[in-house]
Structure 1
């Protein structure tokens, strides 16, 4: 795995662990924690097959995550976001722990020279927006995306490493995006870019 993808995976794992540790592994007391409606039985068009999602445990009573970005977000949406649908793969940091779940999918973006510029991990989770906000209060910036509460955040005030996280509520539950880039190849602000990605994703979700 390239250095950017390795850093992205490790930071995403650290973010999930910090969330559950900081919030005591509970089910949360506010904000959607999982899907409020099941995905359509008709899956969108996906050219690249992926391995099945890991089995969920959620032993503390959190509801199961029913939206899977690797099979429920179609290639056309990924293209609209500016990423290559053929790069679709299960996230290295996908997690199905005893008390929480992150179902994730990774996508890559390349520039005109064929060099990788951005790496996006897209997760569906049963961690609530309240838990995200409580944990990352020092670095979060709140927004509304598609009429739903959202926030960008970093793991600490000193953390940058060319990336940014975004959590948002949606009709299919809480989604968490992780965007990391090669800043020497594309110097754009990752927190601005991840909001653009989130807007496109939110507009495609069921209402």
Structure 2
């Protein structure tokens, strides 16, 4: 075999190995705000409504490294989809390694306006990386806090529960502590346009 064909073979094998990598090449560095665009694909579930398809799937579009950056264990993933005929929520649940927090990440095609109306009694409007969002917590639901982020297809909900293991609720100041930072990490992966 001459050296020209040997080089071609080495290049082909290198390209084949690189093409099989499961690590995303468009993943931002931890702590950056560079937008990442997930690949277009048919959603895992399409409802029977005329609502937009859910284009961001937290179970598929959030790399393990991003979950770890946010403090959650990718190995604890459990499906949290809610898929009636009228709308779709694709979701996954995660725990922190020490089980202090449980997190549901739900991507749905209800509109941000619907979410605002539903939560108007207890939500506060905030901003997550330039997107409109709602910080949601209720005094009668201790140890829980959620953020709904506006998307082009609907909303992304980052919903966290605190597990203290003492049987007593945590102080109210702890319910939402750090959740906006977590939402900013995940927002980087949502498409900016339809």
TM surpasses 0.5: yes
Q: 1:1-207 counterparts in 2 under 5 A?
A: 39-40=38-39, 53=44, 55-59=45-49, 61-91=50-80, 94-111=81-98, 116-154=99-137, 157-170=138-151, 173-184=154-165, 187=170, 189-207=174-192
1:199 and 1:191, CA in 2 relative to 1: closer, same or farther beyond 3 A? Answer: same
In the aligned structure 1, how far is the partner of 2:69 from the partner of 2:151?
19
In the aligned structure 1, how far is the partner of 2:145 from the partner of 2:135?
7
Bigger RCO (CA 8 Å, 6+ sep): 1
1:39 and 1:204, CA in 2 relative to 1: closer, same or farther beyond 3 A? Answer: closer
TM-score normalised to the size of structure 2?
A: 0.68
Q: CA deviation at 1:132?
A: 0.9
Q: Unaligned regions of 5+ residues in structure 2, if any? A: 1-36
What's the C-alpha RMSD, in Å, of the aligned pairs?
2.5
Q: CA deviation at 1:174?
A: 1.8
Q: CA deviation at 1:65?
A: 1.1
Name which one, 1 or 2, has greater alpha-carbon Rg: 2
Aligned to 2:187, the other structure's residue is in SS state helix
In the aligned structure 1, how far is the partner of 2:46 from the partner of 2:152?
21
Contact 1:153 1:166 in 2 (8 A): yes
Contact 1:172 1:206 in 2 (8 A): no
Contact 2:91 2:106 in 1 (8 A): yes
Q: CA deviation at 1:204?
A: 4.1
Q: 1:43-92: per-residue Cα shift (whole Å, max 9, x none)?
A: xxxxxxxxx94x32233x1122122110111001101100011112212x
Q: CA deviation at 1:162?
A: 0.9
Q: 1:141-190: per-residue Cα shift (whole Å, max 9, x none)?
A: 11111000011113xx4422311121002467520111001135794623
In the aligned structure 1, how far is the partner of 2:124 from the partner of 2:158?
14
* Count of matched residue pairs: 151
In the aligned structure 2, how far is the partner of 1:96 from the partner of 1:56?
8
Aligned to 2:114, the other structure's residue is in SS state helix
